[in-house]
Chain A
C-alpha cells in the first residue's frame, strides 16, 4: 500500500547501511555535518566525497530514489555555483566571455561549496532512506536519554512520536474519505479564487478535527484502562543493539577524520 510509505522515503533493504544501529547512523551524521566544514583542499574534499558516495553505494538504495531526495536541492547547488562564479573576482582570469570574466578563484570556490552542499544533503538523506521512522524514534529516545536528568520528558516525546507514526496512515485515509465525501456534495478544493478555496477547506477540516479528537479520547481511555503510567519500568518490543558493523563504522569514521586533518592545507 502506498499508505505505509507516506512519511519518509524509507527504501527496505538488507545492506550494511540498513543494518547499522540507528543511533550510530544519527551520531555519525551529526559529526559528518560538523567536520565537512574543515575540508579545504582537493584531497580533503575527495576523502569526504569518497566516504559519502561510498556510503550511498553500499546502501544499495537504487539511484533514482537517491536522486529523488536530491531533486529539490539541485537548483540551489547550481545557483550557488553560478553565484560564486559571478561574484568572486580573485585569482587569474580563466575565460572571457563577451566581457564577463570567469576568475579562477570563483570557479574553485563555487565548485567546493556546491560539492559541500551536495555531500551534506546526500549523507543526511541516506538516514531517512535506510532507516524506518520507528527506528529513528527509538534511537532519538535513547540519544536524548541524558536529558531525563533535567526533567525533559524524553519518554513522553518518544511515545508521542510513535503514536503519530501509527496514526499517519489512518488520518491519511480519513482525509481522503472526507474530501471525497465533500467533493461529492459539490465542494471544489482544486480550483476557484483564493477566498473560495479557503471556504472549501473548512468543511474538510471540521470533520477531520472532530474525528481526530474522538480517536484521541478513545486511545487515551484505552491507555488508561491498561494502566499506562509513564516511562518508569516500561519494556520494549524491539531493543536496539550495537553490533560489530557499528564498530567498523566508527573505525572508518575515525580514519576519515584523521585523513581529513592530514590532507587539509
Chain B
C-alpha cells in the first residue's frame, strides 16, 4: 500500500520536528541541576511514533531527531563518538516499537492496566538502549581528554545516568497519561 508509506514518511518527519521543538522550548524542560542539566519531553514524540508505526517508524523518528541535534550544535570529538551519541543513541529509542502490537491489543480490549504496562516496558527498552549508546560514547568522549588512569566509565555512567533516568520516568508518565486520555493517538 503506497498511501500508507507516504503517510508514515510525513508523520515521522513532522514528529521528529516536534521532538526537536520540545527539546528546545525553555519552559517545557525541567531544570535538574543549577548547572545546565535539564530533562525535556523530546523522547515522547519518538515513542509515540514507535508505538504507532512499530520499530521502523520509531527508529526513523529517532535518527532524524539525532541528526537535528547535530545541526543545532553537537559535541563532536571523534567520529565514532558522534555516531554513537547522536545517531545510534537516538535511533535505538525507536526500538521501543517492539511492544506496539501488545499495546494496540490492550487498547482494543480497553485494558488500561495492560497498555500502561506495555508502554512502560517499551519506554524502558528504548531508554536503556539509548543510555547504552550515550554511555559508550561517553567513555570515548571522556577518554579522549581525561588524563590516563581516570575512571572514565564512572564519569560516563554518572553523567548519562543522571539525566537518562529522570528522562525515562518523565517520558513514561507523560506518554501513559497522553494515551489514557486519547487512545486514538495510536490508532492509525
Contacts and interface: CB of A to CB of B under 8 A. Distances in A.
Interface residues of chain B: helix, strand, loop or mixed (majority): helix
Contact of A198 (B16, B73, B170): B170
A223 B4 CA distance: 12
A206 B178 contact: yes
Interface string B156-188: 000000000000001001100110011001000
B182 A210 contact: yes
Nearest to B6: A220
B73 A128 contact: yes
Interface in A1-50: 6-9, 29-30, 33-34, 37
B64 to A, nearest CB: 6
A89 to B, nearest CB: 10
A48 B67 CA distance: 27
B154 interface: no
Contact of A87 (B6, B48, B147, B174): B147
Interface in B53-99: 60, 63-64, 67-68, 71-79, 82
A175 B21 contact: yes
A198 B173 contact: yes
A69 B73 CA distance: 7
Interface string A228-241: 11000000000000
Interface residues of B, number: 56
Contacts of A175: 21, 25
Interface stretch (A93-101, A113-121, A248-256, A257-265): A113-121
Contact of B78 (A7, A33, A128, A217): A33
A189 B9 CA distance: 32
A52 B170 CA distance: 40
A73 interface: yes
B48 A83 contact: no
A114 B147 CA distance: 12
Given A30-B79, A202-B174, A116 B145 contact: yes
A167 interface: yes
B41 A201 contact: yes
B4 to A, nearest CB: 9
B123 interface: no
Interface string A184-219: 000001100010011101101110111011011101
A205 B178 contact: yes
B7 A217 contact: yes
A71 B170 CA distance: 28
B181 A206 contact: yes
A64 to B, nearest CB: 15
A160 B150 CA distance: 42
Given A140-B67, A171-B17, A228-B6, 16 more contacts: A6-B24, A7-B68, A34-B79, A124-B74, A157-B60, A159-B9, A167-B14, A168-B21, A171-B21, A175-B21, A189-B28, A197-B30, A209-B185, A210-B182, A216-B11, A219-B14
20 contacts: A7-B71, A8-B72, A33-B79, A34-B79, A37-B78, A84-B147, A113-B145, A114-B145, A121-B75, A140-B67, A160-B64, A161-B64, A175-B25, A205-B174, A209-B45, A210-B185, A219-B10, A219-B14, A220-B6, A228-B6
Interface of B: 2-3, 6-7, 9-18, 20-21, 24-25, 27-28, 30, 35-36, 41, 44-45, 48, 60, 63-64, 67-68, 71-79, 82, 144-147, 149-150, 170, 173-174, 177-178, 181-182, 185
**Closest 10 pairs between A and B when the two form their complex, measured CB to CB:** A163-B13, A164-B17, A160-B13, A124-B76, A220-B7, A216-B11, A87-B147, A216-B10, A220-B10, A220-B6
